[in-house]
Structure 1
Amino acid sequence: MNNTFNINRFGLLLKRQWLEFGKIYLMSLVVLIGILIAFYFFNAPDFNRSFFYKWDDHGHVQLGFRLPVFIAIGFLFLTIQASTYFSAFGQKPKAIMELMTPASVTEKFICAILFSTILSLISYLLIFYIIDAIFLNYFNELWQHSKATNYNTGKLTAVSFSTLFDDLTSEKEFKFLFAMPFFFSGIFLLGSIYFNRFHYIKTALSITALFSFIIFFTIKFGNWITAGKSRIYTVDHVEKDFVLAIFFWSSVALSLIIWLITYVRLKEKEV
Protein backbone atom coordinates (compact mmCIF):
# COMPACT_ATOMS: atom_id res chain seq x y z
CA MET A 1 0.00 0.00 0.00
CA ASN A 2 1.54 3.32 -1.05
CA ASN A 3 1.51 6.16 1.43
CA THR A 4 -0.34 8.66 -0.75
CA PHE A 5 -3.72 10.10 0.13
CA ASN A 6 -6.69 8.85 -1.89
CA ILE A 7 -10.04 10.51 -1.20
CA ASN A 8 -12.16 7.51 -2.24
CA ARG A 9 -10.12 5.12 -0.13
CA PHE A 10 -10.23 7.58 2.76
CA GLY A 11 -14.03 7.74 2.54
CA LEU A 12 -14.26 3.96 2.75
CA LEU A 13 -11.89 4.00 5.74
CA LEU A 14 -14.11 6.53 7.52
CA LYS A 15 -17.14 4.29 7.01
CA ARG A 16 -15.27 1.23 8.26
CA GLN A 17 -13.93 3.03 11.33
CA TRP A 18 -17.36 4.38 12.18
CA LEU A 19 -18.77 0.84 12.17
CA GLU A 20 -16.02 -0.18 14.61
CA PHE A 21 -15.82 3.00 16.63
CA GLY A 22 -19.36 4.36 16.30
CA LYS A 23 -21.32 2.10 18.67
CA ILE A 24 -18.93 2.55 21.57
CA TYR A 25 -18.70 6.25 20.81
CA LEU A 26 -22.48 6.75 20.84
CA MET A 27 -22.76 4.81 24.11
CA SER A 28 -20.10 7.06 25.63
CA LEU A 29 -22.12 10.11 24.56
CA VAL A 30 -25.19 8.74 26.39
CA VAL A 31 -23.08 8.25 29.53
CA LEU A 32 -21.66 11.75 29.13
CA ILE A 33 -25.14 13.28 28.88
CA GLY A 34 -26.26 11.43 32.02
CA ILE A 35 -23.21 12.58 34.01
CA LEU A 36 -23.62 16.24 32.99
CA ILE A 37 -27.35 16.26 33.78
CA ALA A 38 -26.63 14.73 37.19
CA PHE A 39 -24.07 17.46 37.97
CA TYR A 40 -26.56 20.20 37.07
CA PHE A 41 -29.34 18.62 39.14
CA PHE A 42 -27.20 18.14 42.24
CA ASN A 43 -25.61 21.60 41.98
CA ALA A 44 -28.72 23.65 41.19
CA PRO A 45 -28.38 27.14 42.77
CA ASP A 46 -30.23 27.75 46.03
CA PHE A 47 -31.72 31.21 46.47
CA ASN A 48 -31.56 30.85 50.26
CA ARG A 49 -27.76 30.77 49.96
CA SER A 50 -27.49 33.81 47.69
CA PHE A 51 -24.62 35.21 49.78
CA PHE A 52 -22.45 32.52 48.17
CA TYR A 53 -23.19 33.79 44.67
CA LYS A 54 -20.22 34.84 42.59
CA TRP A 55 -21.01 37.75 40.26
CA ASP A 56 -19.15 38.50 37.03
CA ASP A 57 -18.41 41.95 35.60
CA HIS A 58 -21.62 41.90 33.54
CA GLY A 59 -23.92 41.53 36.56
CA HIS A 60 -24.59 37.82 36.04
CA VAL A 61 -24.37 35.09 38.65
CA GLN A 62 -21.76 32.44 37.83
CA LEU A 63 -22.44 28.76 38.45
CA GLY A 64 -19.41 27.85 40.52
CA PHE A 65 -19.44 24.16 39.65
CA ARG A 66 -19.66 24.62 35.89
CA LEU A 67 -16.07 25.45 34.89
CA PRO A 68 -14.48 22.68 37.03
CA VAL A 69 -17.01 20.19 35.62
CA PHE A 70 -16.49 21.46 32.06
CA ILE A 71 -12.72 21.06 32.31
CA ALA A 72 -12.60 17.80 34.30
CA ILE A 73 -15.30 15.90 32.39
CA GLY A 74 -13.98 17.24 29.08
CA PHE A 75 -10.48 16.06 29.93
CA LEU A 76 -11.69 12.57 30.84
CA PHE A 77 -13.98 12.28 27.81
CA LEU A 78 -11.37 13.38 25.25
CA THR A 79 -8.50 11.38 26.73
CA ILE A 80 -10.55 8.18 27.09
CA GLN A 81 -11.71 8.44 23.48
CA ALA A 82 -8.13 9.01 22.29
CA SER A 83 -6.70 6.27 24.50
CA THR A 84 -9.01 3.61 23.05
CA TYR A 85 -8.60 4.47 19.37
CA PHE A 86 -5.45 2.45 18.58
CA SER A 87 -5.97 -0.07 21.39
CA ALA A 88 -6.56 -2.85 18.81
CA PHE A 89 -2.83 -2.81 17.98
CA GLY A 90 -2.16 -4.25 21.43
CA GLN A 91 -4.23 -7.37 20.63
CA LYS A 92 -2.58 -9.66 18.11
CA PRO A 93 -5.70 -10.90 16.22
CA LYS A 94 -7.16 -7.39 15.95
CA ALA A 95 -3.76 -5.90 15.15
CA ILE A 96 -3.45 -8.17 12.11
CA MET A 97 -6.85 -6.98 10.87
CA GLU A 98 -5.86 -3.35 11.41
CA LEU A 99 -2.59 -3.81 9.54
CA MET A 100 -4.41 -5.50 6.65
CA THR A 101 -6.84 -2.60 6.26
CA PRO A 102 -6.42 -1.31 2.68
CA ALA A 103 -5.49 2.26 3.53
CA SER A 104 -2.27 4.25 3.75
CA VAL A 105 -0.65 5.36 7.00
CA THR A 106 -1.55 8.96 6.19
CA GLU A 107 -5.21 8.08 5.75
CA LYS A 108 -5.29 6.08 8.99
CA PHE A 109 -3.59 8.89 10.88
CA ILE A 110 -5.95 11.60 9.59
CA CYS A 111 -8.90 9.35 10.39
CA ALA A 112 -7.57 8.91 13.94
CA ILE A 113 -7.29 12.69 14.44
CA LEU A 114 -10.80 13.24 13.07
CA PHE A 115 -12.45 10.63 15.31
CA SER A 116 -10.40 10.87 18.51
CA THR A 117 -9.92 14.63 18.62
CA ILE A 118 -12.04 16.72 16.24
CA LEU A 119 -15.29 14.73 16.45
CA SER A 120 -14.93 14.13 20.19
CA LEU A 121 -14.23 17.81 20.92
CA ILE A 122 -17.12 19.08 18.78
CA SER A 123 -19.50 16.52 20.28
CA TYR A 124 -18.50 17.41 23.83
CA LEU A 125 -18.83 21.17 23.28
CA LEU A 126 -22.20 20.74 21.56
CA ILE A 127 -23.62 18.44 24.26
CA PHE A 128 -22.36 20.64 27.08
CA TYR A 129 -23.71 23.78 25.39
CA ILE A 130 -27.18 22.26 24.88
CA ILE A 131 -27.44 20.92 28.45
CA ASP A 132 -26.11 24.18 29.86
CA ALA A 133 -28.58 26.24 27.78
CA ILE A 134 -31.54 24.10 28.91
CA PHE A 135 -30.67 24.40 32.60
CA LEU A 136 -29.85 28.10 32.32
CA ASN A 137 -33.24 28.75 30.75
CA TYR A 138 -34.87 26.83 33.61
CA PHE A 139 -32.83 28.62 36.31
CA ASN A 140 -33.47 32.07 34.82
CA GLU A 141 -37.22 31.42 34.64
CA LEU A 142 -37.21 30.16 38.22
CA TRP A 143 -35.32 33.22 39.50
CA GLN A 144 -36.72 35.84 37.10
CA HIS A 145 -38.51 37.78 39.88
CA SER A 146 -35.73 37.36 42.45
CA LYS A 147 -33.00 39.77 43.47
CA ALA A 148 -29.80 39.35 45.42
CA THR A 149 -26.92 41.56 46.51
CA ASN A 150 -24.24 41.91 43.86
CA TYR A 151 -21.09 41.92 45.97
CA ASN A 152 -19.10 43.58 43.16
CA THR A 153 -21.33 46.67 43.24
CA GLY A 154 -23.06 46.34 46.61
CA LYS A 155 -26.43 46.79 44.93
CA LEU A 156 -29.54 44.64 44.89
CA THR A 157 -29.57 43.08 41.40
CA ALA A 158 -31.97 40.87 39.49
CA VAL A 159 -30.62 37.30 39.41
CA SER A 160 -29.54 36.25 35.93
CA PHE A 161 -27.10 33.41 35.39
CA SER A 162 -24.06 33.68 33.14
CA THR A 163 -23.47 31.41 30.17
CA LEU A 164 -20.47 29.11 29.77
CA PHE A 165 -19.07 31.47 27.12
CA ASP A 166 -19.29 34.35 29.62
CA ASP A 167 -17.29 32.35 32.16
CA LEU A 168 -14.65 31.29 29.64
CA THR A 169 -14.08 34.80 28.32
CA SER A 170 -14.32 36.65 31.64
CA GLU A 171 -10.77 35.64 32.52
CA LYS A 172 -7.88 36.07 30.07
CA GLU A 173 -6.23 32.88 31.34
CA PHE A 174 -8.95 30.67 29.87
CA LYS A 175 -8.38 32.05 26.36
CA PHE A 176 -4.91 30.55 26.37
CA LEU A 177 -6.16 27.07 27.31
CA PHE A 178 -7.86 26.42 23.97
CA ALA A 179 -4.89 24.37 22.70
CA MET A 180 -4.93 22.02 25.71
CA PRO A 181 -7.65 19.64 24.37
CA PHE A 182 -5.47 18.92 21.33
CA PHE A 183 -2.37 18.57 23.49
CA PHE A 184 -3.79 16.03 25.95
CA SER A 185 -5.79 14.19 23.30
CA GLY A 186 -2.58 13.84 21.27
CA ILE A 187 -0.70 12.45 24.28
CA PHE A 188 -3.31 9.77 24.96
CA LEU A 189 -3.61 8.95 21.25
CA LEU A 190 0.14 8.34 21.23
CA GLY A 191 -0.23 6.21 24.37
CA SER A 192 -2.91 4.09 22.70
CA ILE A 193 -0.48 2.99 20.00
CA TYR A 194 2.70 3.03 22.09
CA PHE A 195 1.49 0.75 24.91
CA ASN A 196 0.06 -2.71 24.27
CA ARG A 197 -2.10 -2.97 27.40
CA PHE A 198 -3.62 -0.67 30.02
CA HIS A 199 -3.16 2.27 27.66
CA TYR A 200 -4.95 4.89 29.72
CA ILE A 201 -3.36 4.01 33.06
CA LYS A 202 0.17 3.78 31.65
CA THR A 203 -0.20 7.04 29.71
CA ALA A 204 -1.65 8.85 32.75
CA LEU A 205 1.18 7.60 34.99
CA SER A 206 3.78 8.56 32.39
CA ILE A 207 2.58 12.16 31.95
CA THR A 208 2.09 12.54 35.72
CA ALA A 209 5.69 11.50 36.31
CA LEU A 210 6.93 13.74 33.48
CA PHE A 211 4.97 16.80 34.61
CA SER A 212 6.03 16.23 38.23
CA PHE A 213 9.67 16.18 37.15
CA ILE A 214 9.23 19.34 35.03
CA ILE A 215 7.50 21.21 37.87
CA PHE A 216 10.13 20.06 40.39
CA PHE A 217 12.98 21.06 38.05
CA THR A 218 11.35 24.44 37.30
CA ILE A 219 10.91 25.24 41.00
CA LYS A 220 14.47 24.19 41.84
CA PHE A 221 15.89 26.13 38.89
CA GLY A 222 13.81 29.20 39.79
CA ASN A 223 14.99 29.07 43.40
CA TRP A 224 18.61 28.78 42.21
CA ILE A 225 18.26 31.74 39.84
CA THR A 226 16.55 33.97 42.43
CA ALA A 227 18.69 32.95 45.40
CA GLY A 228 19.84 36.01 47.34
CA LYS A 229 17.67 38.38 45.32
CA SER A 230 14.75 40.45 46.54
CA ARG A 231 11.27 39.33 45.44
CA ILE A 232 8.83 41.64 43.63
CA TYR A 233 5.24 40.53 44.09
CA THR A 234 3.60 42.85 41.57
CA VAL A 235 3.00 41.29 38.15
CA ASP A 236 2.89 43.48 35.06
CA HIS A 237 -0.12 42.70 32.83
CA VAL A 238 2.02 42.87 29.69
CA GLU A 239 4.45 40.34 31.11
CA LYS A 240 1.55 38.13 32.23
CA ASP A 241 0.00 38.19 28.75
CA PHE A 242 3.40 37.41 27.24
CA VAL A 243 3.84 34.36 29.50
CA LEU A 244 0.32 33.13 28.67
CA ALA A 245 0.97 33.60 24.95
CA ILE A 246 4.21 31.59 25.24
CA PHE A 247 2.27 28.90 27.10
CA PHE A 248 -0.39 28.80 24.36
CA TRP A 249 2.02 28.57 21.42
CA SER A 250 4.18 26.05 23.24
CA SER A 251 1.08 23.87 23.67
CA VAL A 252 0.33 24.19 19.95
CA ALA A 253 3.90 23.28 19.00
CA LEU A 254 3.99 20.31 21.40
CA SER A 255 0.64 19.07 20.05
CA LEU A 256 2.03 19.05 16.51
CA ILE A 257 5.20 17.27 17.67
CA ILE A 258 3.16 14.63 19.51
CA TRP A 259 1.00 14.07 16.40
CA LEU A 260 4.19 13.67 14.34
CA ILE A 261 5.54 11.08 16.80
CA THR A 262 2.18 9.26 16.67
CA TYR A 263 2.36 9.21 12.87
CA VAL A 264 5.89 7.77 12.97
CA ARG A 265 4.84 5.15 15.53
CA LEU A 266 1.87 4.16 13.36
CA LYS A 267 4.19 3.86 10.38
CA GLU A 268 6.51 1.60 12.39
CA LYS A 269 3.55 -0.63 13.25
CA GLU A 270 2.71 -0.93 9.57
CA VAL A 271 6.25 -2.08 8.85
Structure 2
Amino acid sequence: MTANFSLKRTFQLISKQWGENRRMYLMSVLALLGLLGIVFGFWAANGGPRYNEEAAYLIGLFGLFITGAIFASTAFNMLGSKDKGIYWISFPASHLEKFIATWFFNFLVFSIVYLVCFLLLKTGVESYIRALTDNDPGKYAYKRVNWNDKNGINAALPYFISAFFAVQAAFLLGSVTFKRFSFIITIVIIAAFLFLFIYYVSKIANSALANYNWNLFSLRDPYVRGEETYKEYTLSPVIKESILFFLKFLIAPFLWLITWVKLKEKQI
Protein backbone atom coordinates (compact mmCIF):
# COMPACT_ATOMS: atom_id res chain seq x y z
CA MET A 1 0.00 0.00 0.00
CA THR A 2 1.12 3.56 -0.66
CA ALA A 3 0.27 6.85 1.02
CA ASN A 4 0.79 8.98 -2.11
CA PHE A 5 -2.26 9.94 -4.14
CA SER A 6 -2.20 9.30 -7.88
CA LEU A 7 -5.03 10.25 -10.23
CA LYS A 8 -3.85 7.69 -12.79
CA ARG A 9 -3.82 4.94 -10.19
CA THR A 10 -7.30 6.01 -9.08
CA PHE A 11 -8.67 5.49 -12.60
CA GLN A 12 -6.86 2.16 -12.77
CA LEU A 13 -8.47 1.17 -9.48
CA ILE A 14 -11.90 2.16 -10.79
CA SER A 15 -11.28 0.07 -13.90
CA LYS A 16 -10.14 -2.85 -11.75
CA GLN A 17 -13.24 -2.60 -9.54
CA TRP A 18 -15.47 -2.54 -12.61
CA GLY A 19 -13.72 -5.57 -14.08
CA GLU A 20 -14.09 -7.58 -10.89
CA ASN A 21 -17.68 -6.58 -10.13
CA ARG A 22 -19.29 -5.78 -13.51
CA ARG A 23 -21.47 -8.89 -13.41
CA MET A 24 -22.78 -7.94 -9.98
CA TYR A 25 -23.33 -4.34 -11.08
CA LEU A 26 -25.21 -5.41 -14.22
CA MET A 27 -27.35 -7.83 -12.22
CA SER A 28 -28.05 -5.02 -9.75
CA VAL A 29 -29.23 -2.77 -12.59
CA LEU A 30 -31.57 -5.51 -13.84
CA ALA A 31 -32.87 -6.04 -10.31
CA LEU A 32 -33.41 -2.28 -9.95
CA LEU A 33 -35.32 -2.15 -13.22
CA GLY A 34 -37.40 -5.12 -12.14
CA LEU A 35 -38.29 -3.68 -8.74
CA LEU A 36 -39.12 -0.25 -10.13
CA GLY A 37 -41.05 -1.89 -12.96
CA ILE A 38 -43.18 -3.86 -10.49
CA VAL A 39 -43.97 -0.76 -8.41
CA PHE A 40 -44.74 1.38 -11.46
CA GLY A 41 -46.83 -1.44 -12.93
CA PHE A 42 -48.82 -1.70 -9.73
CA TRP A 43 -49.35 2.07 -9.74
CA ALA A 44 -50.44 2.08 -13.37
CA ALA A 45 -52.88 -0.76 -12.74
CA ASN A 46 -54.38 0.62 -9.53
CA GLY A 47 -53.73 4.37 -9.59
CA GLY A 48 -56.53 5.32 -11.95
CA PRO A 49 -58.71 6.78 -13.18
CA ARG A 50 -57.17 10.01 -11.84
CA TYR A 51 -53.41 9.70 -12.11
CA ASN A 52 -51.06 12.20 -10.49
CA GLU A 53 -47.49 12.72 -11.66
CA GLU A 54 -46.44 13.54 -8.09
CA ALA A 55 -47.11 9.90 -7.19
CA ALA A 56 -44.50 8.81 -9.75
CA TYR A 57 -41.89 11.09 -8.19
CA LEU A 58 -42.76 9.88 -4.69
CA ILE A 59 -42.27 6.30 -5.90
CA GLY A 60 -38.92 7.30 -7.37
CA LEU A 61 -37.77 9.06 -4.19
CA PHE A 62 -38.83 6.16 -1.97
CA GLY A 63 -36.99 3.70 -4.18
CA LEU A 64 -33.96 5.99 -4.29
CA PHE A 65 -33.66 6.04 -0.50
CA ILE A 66 -34.15 2.28 -0.09
CA THR A 67 -31.90 1.05 -2.89
CA GLY A 68 -29.26 3.71 -2.26
CA ALA A 69 -29.05 2.76 1.41
CA ILE A 70 -28.81 -0.95 0.63
CA PHE A 71 -26.15 -0.43 -2.03
CA ALA A 72 -24.08 1.90 0.17
CA SER A 73 -24.24 -0.50 3.13
CA THR A 74 -22.48 -3.16 1.02
CA ALA A 75 -19.74 -0.81 -0.24
CA PHE A 76 -17.04 -2.08 2.12
CA ASN A 77 -18.41 -5.52 2.91
CA MET A 78 -15.03 -7.01 2.01
CA LEU A 79 -13.75 -5.64 5.32
CA GLY A 80 -16.02 -8.08 7.13
CA SER A 81 -13.97 -11.01 5.81
CA LYS A 82 -10.45 -11.47 7.12
CA ASP A 83 -8.94 -12.79 3.88
CA LYS A 84 -10.67 -10.28 1.60
CA GLY A 85 -10.09 -7.45 4.06
CA ILE A 86 -6.36 -8.08 4.32
CA TYR A 87 -6.06 -8.28 0.53
CA TRP A 88 -8.06 -5.07 0.05
CA ILE A 89 -6.16 -3.08 2.69
CA SER A 90 -2.72 -4.31 1.51
CA PHE A 91 -3.47 -3.62 -2.16
CA PRO A 92 -0.91 -1.09 -3.53
CA ALA A 93 -3.09 2.03 -3.53
CA SER A 94 -3.72 4.78 -1.02
CA HIS A 95 -6.81 4.79 1.19
CA LEU A 96 -7.98 7.95 -0.55
CA GLU A 97 -7.79 6.25 -3.95
CA LYS A 98 -9.70 3.24 -2.63
CA PHE A 99 -12.32 5.48 -1.10
CA ILE A 100 -12.73 7.51 -4.31
CA ALA A 101 -13.10 4.34 -6.39
CA THR A 102 -15.78 3.01 -4.03
CA TRP A 103 -17.49 6.41 -3.82
CA PHE A 104 -17.48 6.64 -7.62
CA PHE A 105 -19.63 3.52 -8.00
CA ASN A 106 -21.77 3.90 -4.87
CA PHE A 107 -22.58 7.57 -5.29
CA LEU A 108 -21.94 8.86 -8.79
CA VAL A 109 -22.63 5.78 -10.91
CA PHE A 110 -25.54 4.62 -8.76
CA SER A 111 -27.24 8.03 -8.85
CA ILE A 112 -26.94 8.27 -12.65
CA VAL A 113 -28.08 4.68 -13.23
CA TYR A 114 -31.04 5.09 -10.89
CA LEU A 115 -32.08 8.34 -12.59
CA VAL A 116 -31.90 6.71 -16.03
CA CYS A 117 -33.91 3.66 -14.88
CA PHE A 118 -36.51 5.87 -13.22
CA LEU A 119 -36.95 8.11 -16.27
CA LEU A 120 -37.20 5.13 -18.63
CA LEU A 121 -39.90 3.43 -16.57
CA LYS A 122 -41.73 6.69 -15.87
CA THR A 123 -41.80 7.43 -19.61
CA GLY A 124 -43.15 3.97 -20.32
CA VAL A 125 -45.89 4.25 -17.69
CA GLU A 126 -46.81 7.73 -18.91
CA SER A 127 -47.19 6.32 -22.45
CA TYR A 128 -49.63 3.77 -21.06
CA ILE A 129 -51.56 6.47 -19.14
CA ARG A 130 -51.58 8.70 -22.21
CA ALA A 131 -53.12 5.88 -24.22
CA LEU A 132 -55.83 5.50 -21.57
CA THR A 133 -56.62 9.21 -21.55
CA ASP A 134 -56.66 9.39 -25.35
CA ASN A 135 -59.05 6.45 -25.63
CA ASP A 136 -61.37 7.57 -22.85
CA PRO A 137 -60.70 11.21 -21.83
CA GLY A 138 -63.94 11.37 -19.89
CA LYS A 139 -62.86 8.61 -17.55
CA TYR A 140 -59.08 8.95 -17.24
CA ALA A 141 -56.99 12.02 -16.43
CA TYR A 142 -53.32 12.65 -15.71
CA LYS A 143 -52.36 15.62 -13.53
CA ARG A 144 -48.91 16.92 -14.35
CA VAL A 145 -46.59 18.50 -11.78
CA ASN A 146 -46.72 22.28 -11.85
CA TRP A 147 -43.05 23.18 -11.54
CA ASN A 148 -43.98 26.79 -10.79
CA ASP A 149 -46.02 25.82 -7.72
CA LYS A 150 -44.08 26.83 -4.62
CA ASN A 151 -46.08 24.43 -2.44
CA GLY A 152 -45.79 21.33 -4.62
CA ILE A 153 -43.31 18.47 -4.64
CA ASN A 154 -40.93 20.58 -6.73
CA ALA A 155 -40.38 22.85 -3.71
CA ALA A 156 -39.51 19.89 -1.46
CA LEU A 157 -37.46 18.01 -4.08
CA PRO A 158 -34.10 19.72 -3.30
CA TYR A 159 -34.52 18.84 0.38
CA PHE A 160 -35.29 15.20 -0.49
CA ILE A 161 -32.15 15.05 -2.64
CA SER A 162 -29.99 16.58 0.12
CA ALA A 163 -31.48 14.12 2.61
CA PHE A 164 -30.73 11.21 0.26
CA PHE A 165 -27.07 12.22 -0.08
CA ALA A 166 -26.78 12.45 3.72
CA VAL A 167 -28.52 9.10 4.29
CA GLN A 168 -26.43 7.33 1.67
CA ALA A 169 -23.25 8.81 3.17
CA ALA A 170 -24.35 7.56 6.60
CA PHE A 171 -24.78 4.02 5.28
CA LEU A 172 -21.41 4.26 3.53
CA LEU A 173 -19.86 5.19 6.88
CA GLY A 174 -21.72 2.32 8.52
CA SER A 175 -20.28 -0.16 6.03
CA VAL A 176 -16.78 0.81 7.19
CA THR A 177 -17.57 1.05 10.90
CA PHE A 178 -19.49 -2.20 11.39
CA LYS A 179 -18.21 -5.55 10.20
CA ARG A 180 -21.59 -7.27 10.25
CA PHE A 181 -25.22 -6.15 9.95
CA SER A 182 -24.12 -2.64 8.98
CA PHE A 183 -27.43 -1.93 7.24
CA ILE A 184 -29.53 -2.79 10.30
CA ILE A 185 -27.21 -1.08 12.78
CA THR A 186 -27.10 2.10 10.69
CA ILE A 187 -30.91 2.15 10.48
CA VAL A 188 -31.12 1.81 14.27
CA ILE A 189 -28.65 4.67 14.79
CA ILE A 190 -30.44 6.99 12.33
CA ALA A 191 -33.80 6.12 13.91
CA ALA A 192 -32.36 6.86 17.37
CA PHE A 193 -31.12 10.30 16.28
CA LEU A 194 -34.49 11.12 14.72
CA PHE A 195 -36.29 9.94 17.85
CA LEU A 196 -34.11 12.11 20.10
CA PHE A 197 -34.62 15.13 17.84
CA ILE A 198 -38.40 14.69 17.78
CA TYR A 199 -38.42 14.03 21.52
CA TYR A 200 -36.58 17.25 22.37
CA VAL A 201 -38.66 19.29 19.95
CA SER A 202 -41.82 17.92 21.57
CA LYS A 203 -40.44 18.68 25.04
CA ILE A 204 -39.79 22.26 23.96
CA ALA A 205 -43.27 22.50 22.48
CA ASN A 206 -44.81 21.36 25.78
CA SER A 207 -42.60 23.51 28.00
CA ALA A 208 -42.90 27.15 29.00
CA LEU A 209 -42.23 28.03 25.35
CA ALA A 210 -45.52 26.49 24.29
CA ASN A 211 -47.21 29.89 24.23
CA TYR A 212 -44.48 31.41 22.09
CA ASN A 213 -44.21 31.49 18.32
CA TRP A 214 -40.92 29.69 17.74
CA ASN A 215 -38.94 27.64 15.28
CA LEU A 216 -35.39 26.35 15.12
CA PHE A 217 -33.96 29.82 14.49
CA SER A 218 -36.19 32.35 16.25
CA LEU A 219 -38.44 32.93 19.25
CA ARG A 220 -41.24 35.48 19.34
CA ASP A 221 -43.05 36.69 22.47
CA PRO A 222 -46.81 35.99 22.61
CA TYR A 223 -49.02 38.70 21.22
CA VAL A 224 -50.38 41.06 23.85
CA ARG A 225 -54.08 41.83 23.40
CA GLY A 226 -54.58 45.29 22.01
CA GLU A 227 -50.96 45.69 20.93
CA GLU A 228 -49.40 45.10 17.54
CA THR A 229 -45.78 45.10 18.72
CA TYR A 230 -43.80 42.08 19.84
CA LYS A 231 -40.29 41.01 20.76
CA GLU A 232 -38.45 38.53 18.59
CA TYR A 233 -35.20 36.78 19.42
CA THR A 234 -33.45 35.26 16.44
CA LEU A 235 -30.07 34.03 15.30
CA SER A 236 -28.07 36.35 13.11
CA PRO A 237 -28.60 35.86 9.37
CA VAL A 238 -24.98 34.71 8.98
CA ILE A 239 -25.36 31.93 11.58
CA LYS A 240 -28.78 30.92 10.28
CA GLU A 241 -27.60 30.71 6.67
CA SER A 242 -24.46 28.84 7.75
CA ILE A 243 -26.55 26.22 9.56
CA LEU A 244 -28.91 25.86 6.60
CA PHE A 245 -25.97 25.60 4.20
CA PHE A 246 -24.43 22.84 6.31
CA LEU A 247 -27.71 20.93 6.55
CA LYS A 248 -28.33 21.20 2.81
CA PHE A 249 -24.90 20.69 1.31
CA LEU A 250 -22.22 19.70 3.83
CA ILE A 251 -23.61 16.76 5.84
CA ALA A 252 -22.78 14.24 3.11
CA PRO A 253 -19.21 15.56 2.49
CA PHE A 254 -18.66 15.64 6.26
CA LEU A 255 -19.70 11.97 6.55
CA TRP A 256 -17.55 11.08 3.51
CA LEU A 257 -14.58 12.68 5.27
CA ILE A 258 -15.25 10.64 8.41
CA THR A 259 -15.56 7.50 6.28
CA TRP A 260 -12.17 8.14 4.70
CA VAL A 261 -10.58 8.71 8.14
CA LYS A 262 -12.18 5.53 9.50
CA LEU A 263 -10.92 3.69 6.44
CA LYS A 264 -7.36 4.86 7.14
CA GLU A 265 -7.62 3.56 10.70
CA LYS A 266 -9.29 0.27 9.76
CA GLN A 267 -7.63 -2.88 11.00
CA ILE A 268 -8.58 -6.46 10.21
Instruction: Note whether the superposition's TM-score is higher than 0.5.
Output: yes
Does structure 2 conserve the Cα–Cα contact (< 8 Å) formed by 1:182 and 1:255?
A: yes
User: Residue 152 of structure 1 corresponds to which residue in structure 2?
Assistant: none
| Amino acid in the other structure paired with 1:15 | S
Give the drift of 1:125.
0.7
1:144 to 2:134 alignment: yes
Equivalent runs, 1:185-264 vs 2, <5 Å? 185-224=168-207, 226-229=209-212, 249-264=246-261
Q: Identify if the C-alpha distance between structure 1 residues 211 and 244 changes in structure 2 by more than 3 Å, giving closer, same or farther.
A: farther
Q: Specify the SS of the correspondent of 2:134.
A: coil
Give the drift of 1:71.
1.7
Q: Percent identity?
A: 28
Equivalent runs, 1:1-271 vs 2, <5 Å? 1-44=1-44, 50=49, 53=50, 61-63=51-53, 65-148=55-138, 159-160=141-142, 162=144, 170-224=153-207, 226-229=209-212, 249-269=246-266
Does structure 2 conserve the Cα–Cα contact (< 8 Å) formed by 1:132 and 1:164?
A: no
| Amino acid in the other structure paired with 1:146 | D
Give the drift of 1:40.
2.1
Give the drift of 1:106.
1.2
After TM superposition, the score normalised by the length of structure 2 is 0.79
C-alpha deviations, 1:125-154, integer Å up to 9, x for none?
1100011112212221231243359xxxxx
Between the aligned partners of 1:218 and 1:169, the Cα distance in structure 2 is 26
Equivalent residues, number: 245
Q: Specify the SS of the correspondent of 2:160.
A: coil
Between the aligned partners of 2:25 and 2:241, the Cα distance in structure 1 is 34
Q: Identify if the C-alpha distance between structure 1 residues 165 and 128 changes in structure 2 by more than 3 Å, giving closer, same or farther.
A: farther
Between the aligned partners of 1:161 and 1:223, the Cα distance in structure 2 is 40
Runs of 4+ displaced beyond 6 Å: 163-169, 242-245
Q: Specify the SS of the correspondent of 1:209.
A: helix
C-alpha deviations, 1:202-236, integer Å up to 9, x for none?
1111111121112211221343352344799xxxx
Two-structure CA RMSD over aligned residues (Å):
3.3
Does structure 2 conserve the Cα–Cα contact (< 8 Å) formed by 1:33 and 1:127?
A: yes
Between the aligned partners of 2:186 and 2:114, the Cα distance in structure 1 is 22
Structure 1 stretches lacking a partner, 5+ long: 54-60, 150-157, 233-241
